[in-house]
A and B are shown apart, each in its own frame.
Chain A
Amino acid sequence: MTIPQTPMLYGAFGAYLLAVLMYLSHLVLRRPWVWRSAFVLVLAGFAVQSVFLAMRWATAGYLPVTNLFATQFFFSWALAATYLYFELRYRIHAAGLFVMFCNLLLLGSALPRDPALPPLIPALDTPLFTLHVSLSFIGYAFFAMAFSMGVLYLVQKRLQTGLLPDLQLLRKLNEEAVFLGFSIFTLCMIFGSIWAYVAWGYYFSWNIKGVWSALVWIFYAGMCHAKFIRRWQGSGYALLSIAGFGVVLFTYLGIGLLMSSNHPLE
């Protein structure tokens, strides 16, 4: 199957870029047609990305998430899916701007990279790998959404603007994003552990990637408890969401690019 890689990639990027610009306009104009257009553009970009991902999966015979381009692309797809979930469920409109901006950066930085599909090495040829990697990026996407909601909560608390959802909704969205991210990341860790056991003979690795993945899990497990403590709700929870995403970013990009680990990105 020949995949029109360049038009599809740039098409999705263009749709997201226009969507971000429309959401920015919505902050100024406050017209329903503006956010509706932006939402349609996100839907269009997500549809193109989904078809592109499906075509690459069918061509390769495995879910292509084995190098930096492929993981950035999948992460971007998961971010768009997460945004659509919150938009359809809560009509967050421009409050999702930050996530879409992150998505734009992620997809934009993937564009110059080689999208070629490498042959799959036998060690990665297992459904456990597919489940482990896909669930990890979907979990990361929810953590990115929690980060975004945390930032907006702090901005809204300071500015008290009508442009953003009220504090109660932002807090609820943050908690939901953390909860969903933690649940999905737990499944990712379970499948990863089983895979590690059949591939290496142990289910927990003291490699830095394994240690930091466990840290991400413990950190967000703590956050799932923190929401039940009044003093930690609101600003404290928002700050924790921001710090947590820092840990996530280092686990994905910092370790993958700067350090030698058993999860290389290049």
Chain B
Amino acid sequence: MLKTILDSKTWKLLCSLKLTIVLASAVTLITIGGSVLIPFNPKVFAGMDSMPLGLWVEKVAVQTPGMTWWVPVAGILVVLLGVNTLCCFVDWVCHFRARWRKCGEYLIHIGFILLLTAYLWGSHAGFRSENNAMLVGQSKRLPQLGVTLKLENFKPVLAPSGRPMEMLNTLALYRGNELLKRVETRSNHPLTWGGLVAIPISYGQTARGGRYVPYSILTINYDPGVKLAFAGSLAMGCGVFLTLFSFYRKRKRGDHPDIV
């Protein structure tokens, strides 16, 4: 049964190198054409980073199909490229000949598949929330996750010139009364928990009781696929090192690749 599938023309097409090149070329050409619209139409495309892709397609892209059609088309082509990569990986596993031969290359393949799956998962099931202004002591409930984020302390750090340098936030995450995590966040050091990430982006001041009180502005995003994406990156990174190692080893031995 497996042998019949692996020998079928459909399977060979799905695994073919030529399909990879055709899909990669098509994605490149379509995205080159479409992406030129991005900087000139901020009203349409600026929201792509402030909401998951799935939501952006539902809310924004459907309103301006003439300008955004290339995004779902490129997305479909990338998914097909992922399917092609997966089939190629499965085919390699089924025809495993030498133990280490091409391990690095196929780790890169599996890394790409994991990253793509993670991105699709996050685009469908994640959420993004920007410009969450919070005073010290204030909490924000995240009903999707059943947790509450609390700003316990906030201290902006200014340069002698008065220029803002850093934003030190003590953030705590609770489920009911149970403390899940407490972190002092600053630039590049967010609070992360599961797929949740809370990052201080900016700050402001508001008048309270006759004096100005600083408040923190947070970005709170949730992406359930982030651990999978990290696993994909790790696989890809290891794959690159293994491939580099085997490249020089093969060159030294005069081992030449199979040409189709």
* Residues in chain A within 8 A of chain B (CB atoms): 122-123, 125-126, 128, 179-180, 183, 186-187, 190, 193-195, 197-208, 211-212, 214-215, 218-219, 221-222, 225-230, 232-233, 247, 259-261
Contact = CB atoms under 8 A, between A and B. Distances in A.
Contacts of B6: none
B21 A122 contact: no
B27 to A, nearest CB: 6
Contact of A122 (B20, B31, B186, B259): B186
A179 B248 CA distance: 11
A211 B165 contact: no
B188 A202 contact: no
Interface in B1-50: 17-18, 20-21, 24-25, 27-28, 31-32, 35, 38-39, 45, 48-49
A68 B119 CA distance: 32
Contacts of B39: 208, 259-261
Interface string B196-220: 0111000000000000000000011
A187 B187 CA distance: 22
B21 A226 contact: yes
Which residue, B186, B187, B247, has most C-beta atoms of chain A within 10 A? B187
Given A183-B244, A198-B189, A205-B49, A228 B32 contact: no
B259 A198 contact: no
Contact of A229 (B17, B108, B247): B17
Given A125-B187, A197-B226, A260-B39, A218 B28 contact: yes
Interface of B: prevailing SS = helix
Contacts of A226: 17, 21
Contacts of A260: 39
Nearest to A172: B251
B84 to A, nearest CB: 10
A82 to B, nearest CB: 15
Contact of B243 (A183, A195, A201): A183
Interface of A: prevailing SS = helix
A230 B260 contact: yes
Interface of B: 17-18, 20-21, 24-25, 27-28, 31-32, 35, 38-39, 45, 48-49, 53, 78, 81, 108, 119, 128, 165-166, 186-190, 197-199, 219-221, 223, 226, 229-230, 233, 236-237, 240, 243-244, 247, 257-260
Given A122-B165, A194-B233, A218-B27, A229 B45 contact: no
A144 B20 CA distance: 24
A201 B35 contact: no
B219 A222 contact: no
Contacts of A228: 17, 257-260
B243 to A, nearest CB: 6
Given A190-B233, A225-B17, A198 B188 contact: yes
B28 A201 contact: no
A128 B188 contact: yes
B199 to A, nearest CB: 5
B188 A195 contact: yes
Contacts of B166: 122
A123 B188 contact: yes
Given A206-B48, A229-B18, A261-B39, A199 B237 contact: no
